[in-house]
Chains A and B, each alone.
Chain A
Amino acid sequence: MSGRIFEFSDMQHSQAVETDVCVIGSGCGGATVAKRLVDFGHDVVILERGGYYPTRSFDQDELNMNAKLSDNRSLKTASDGATVLLSGHNVGGASVHYWADSYRTPTDRLELWRDRYGVRGHGLGDLQPAWDEIEQALHIHPAEDQYFNRMNELVRDGSAKLQWSGSRVPQARHNCQKSGHCMQGCVFEAKKSQLVTHIPQAIAGGARIYADVRADQLSISNGSVSSLQATVMDRPSARPSARQLTVQAKAFVVAAGGYNSAAFLMRNGLQSQLPQLGRSFGFNPSPMVHGLYREDIVLWRNIPAAYGVDHFRLARYSADGGYLEGGYLLMPNQLQPGLLAASIPLLGDEHARWMRAMRRIGSTIGWIDDHPDELGHIALNDDGTSKVIYPYGPTTQSMLRDLIKKQVLLHRACGAAEILVAGGGAMRFRSEADLKAIDSIDVRAGGLLMGSPHPSGGCAMGPGPVNSVVDSTHRVHGLANLFVSDSSVFPTAVSVDPSLTIMGFSYVAARHIHDMLA
């Protein structure tokens, strides 16, 4: 039996559907858990708030594709007003616009989650079979030489000069054409996003996907969920229609992504019984540094990050606990002209001077491994939409300054003639004295311009409802048939790009849901 995708135009009337499992969200978590449940023989319905944009609708236009694929068109920020929240809003979720970096979860992180947060059943032995299967299905492999653009070569060679360790970044792609449009969706289907892997596989196994449907209200009684009320969104206006979809299921899986899952459960009134709901939230703040080179870099072609510096992945602390350095991955950056221009902190003719030399602009970016004692939280606006409050605590600020300094050093080692930090005020680096100035950079609103591509937490996993939201079977504490399967269950950030961790965890979740249904 083959399933299908229903879109807003297919749902002209309110309707009700029945299924074994209703999955809310279709990104790395939702699509993977759905595919696995279909493999187990269950009937699955997936609800996706965003639209269905098949590959044939991709045009590589920066603004057109940002509007189709990015929630709030990449114009929503955290409460600091400067950290841009990046997430997907389409069938396939953020995987359709991600870079395809696909790391296994570092063992030290799995041990931290086990030892400090009480996570069980998600050790190396539990996840390895899933990763073996996923890596084969998604063609995950270290980037080959031909996929090193000039920026990647510079980062590889410059970091070697500085004696910083690094490695080829594992890529979920096959037969890549080097277009440089990973963030606009891959027209060649070379990037193995959920849209071209687990989604069609789930459909082939009978899954029904309802795009343009916003999950609203869970009906909860006697400790279990019986149904879900959802609203059909009118995609052309991005406004709710009067049409409703009611889903009755034996199990419900929230996989709306790190920015949305906790907020959905909060809107359903679960915060009083789950005090950690929305807490322990991280998003890998990602400062960028640009360099103007004497040679062509052409940042916008080939793959974004073929090579990454992992030398500083784990933060180092002194014996008395003071921060020393590290706590981030450092990567080559890739930006198309609009976002590149937006990240250059200059005005008028000086900004234009850089943009006229765009072919010679190189850029780096780093993901801060959110400090576990300085995490943020999700809250709700009056209209029920979510907001992200992130404190940028003292250690996080030190990490950011260290990451910026290391990026500046790297650009210097690579031969950049001029160096700028992406932010509000123009921070240029020409001398050692300028390097020292980084130590006093004010990490506050509008000071730095950062992306936040990797949300984690909000529905953290752990042994009980006082300190966590879901147990180690992904089940929400106190509710027999409500599960969470996305990055929101991570107790902390992953310290590497999280897609493979999300998918591995979703394999574990699917097995527990299958056990419950059986």
Chain B
Amino acid sequence: MILEQLDIRGLSRRRLLGAVLMCAGAAATACGGRARSSGDPPAVANGRRFLVLSADDLVTLAAFAEAVLPAPGLGPSYVETDILRRLDEEMFFVEAAVRADLDAALSLLEWYPLVSGHVHRFSHLKATGRTALIERMLSSRFDIPRAIANSLRFMVHFLHYAHPATWAMTDFDGPFSRLAPQLSEQRLRYLELTKAVS
């Protein structure tokens, strides 16, 4: 509710994010939780390192992806299309400002429910509650929640439906020439940096 009462037009994007995150931090403390930090180390999952996304980031992103992708059985899941791993890779190679925006967006999304009338963080909401919240954010009259929900939705849908695991569902016949993938130096470096550790 706090966000809905803010007139953000006079605030810069970063100042508003700061204000919201301060509210979220206070709410987190009151709930006995821990406010996430941009200094959190990248996660390790299934023995493979991530380079950008922290464990908290992965939890929030997974919850978001579940909410915007089709229900189980109606198409491949975010796990099958490897969205979290691919987003980590994409983010490693973009400008720091883009990474910072994603970090801020995930923080705000995770705590947004607590400042908009819920008693749980985003990742702790039921799937239907997450979808409803995202729909509210997308139709919000305020710029920041709308932009965050739309940007995250854009990235999740982009990475999901570009993956070959979705092609049967969409009846996409694949790239025209059926060429073998040509991995760039950056793709190879990412694989090298994140290879499984024993």
Contacts and interface: CB of A to CB of B under 8 A. Distances in A.
Interface residues of A, number: 66
Contact of B157 (A75, A180, A344, A359): A344
Contact of A351 (B70, B138, B177, B187): B70
A444 interface: yes
Contact of B184 (A67, A180, A425): A67
Contacts of B144: 81, 445
A236 B189 contact: yes
A235 B93 CA distance: 10
A349 interface: yes
A181 B180 contact: no
B107 to A, nearest CB: 15
Nearest to B95: A385
Interface in B151-172: 151, 153-155, 157-163, 166-167, 169-172
B70 A238 contact: no
Nearest to A385: B95
Contact of B172 (A64, A76, A337, A351): A337
Interface in B69-111: 69-71, 74-75, 86, 90-98, 101
Contact of A64 (B67, B95, B167, B187): B187
A449 B150 contact: yes
Contact of B13 (A81, A181, A184, A336): A81
A424 B138 contact: yes
Looking at chain B's contact residues, the main secondary structure is helix
B176 A180 contact: yes
B116 to A, nearest CB: 16
How many of chain B's residues touch chain A, expressed as a range? 35 or more
Nearest to A340: B161
B131 to A, nearest CB: 6
Contacts of A53: 184
B179 to A, nearest CB: 5
Contacts, number: 194
A447 interface: yes
Given A177-B176, A238-B186, A347-B67, A385 B97 contact: yes
B67 A355 contact: no
B188 interface: yes
Given A337-B172, A352-B70, A447 B97 contact: no
B134 interface: yes
Contact of A355 (B91, B94, B155, B166): B166
16 contacts: A62-B175, A63-B86, A64-B187, A68-B184, A75-B98, A81-B148, A81-B150, A82-B150, A184-B175, A187-B179, A236-B185, A238-B92, A238-B93, A348-B68, A356-B169, A358-B170
Interface of B: 13, 67-71, 74-75, 86, 90-98, 101, 131, 134-135, 138-139, 141, 143-144, 146-151, 153-155, 157-163, 166-167, 169-172, 175-177, 179-189
Query: 3 tightest A-B contacts by CB?
Result: A338-B162, A81-B147, A446-B146
